[in-house]
Homo-oligomer: A and B are copies of this chain.
Amino acid sequence: MFPSSDTHFMSRAISEAKEALEKDEVPIGCVIVCQGRIIAKGYNLTETLNDVTAHAEMQAITSAASFLGGKYLINCTMYVTMEPCVMCAGALFWSQISKVVIGARDPHRGFIDKGVKLHSKTEIITGVMEEECSALVKDFFKSKR
């Protein structure tokens, strides 16, 4: 079992993912939390913006740094519905974020099995509300077939 704060914030990330779904985007969402408050959120907008870099995580990292007035996300936690890709993991590495809490793993495009490392200071938790996070994406692709 995960702490209730983890399920609380992952639910908020899932709400972000549902915003993506509304726009017919692959439903992935995230929030960044600092001292118990959500300071940034994002959802996938790659199709809407015609931009491969417009992943939920990238937008949230930029937004959190803007909120904090500094580029390092120390003492911040990202809650993200799907395991970040290599690009987003690279951005998380640079951000030195303290913790990343992941809903569903992505064995195909996720960073973990590709051997990409986050910062040595970054704690990684996986499997928070995994089924719900995973079902969102699976149902989306099923509807596209």
Contacts and interface: CB of A to CB of B under 8 A. Distances in A.
A69 B47 CA distance: 11
Contact of A62 (B47, B51, B116): B51
Oligomeric state, in copies: 2
Contact of A95 (B47, B52, B72, B89): B52
Interface in A56-70: 58, 61-62, 65-66, 69-70
A140 B131 CA distance: 49
Given A90-B89, A93-B86, A62 B70 contact: no
Interface residues on A, range: 20 to 34
Contact of A71 (B50, B89, B94): B50
A65 B51 contact: yes
Interface in A78-96: 85-91, 93-95
B116 A86 contact: yes
Contacts of A116: 86, 114, 116
Pick the most buried of A53, A69, A72, A95: most chain B CB atoms within 10 A of its CB: A53
Contacts of A53: 53, 58, 61-62, 91, 94
Contacts of A36: none
Interface string A10-32: 00000000000000000000000
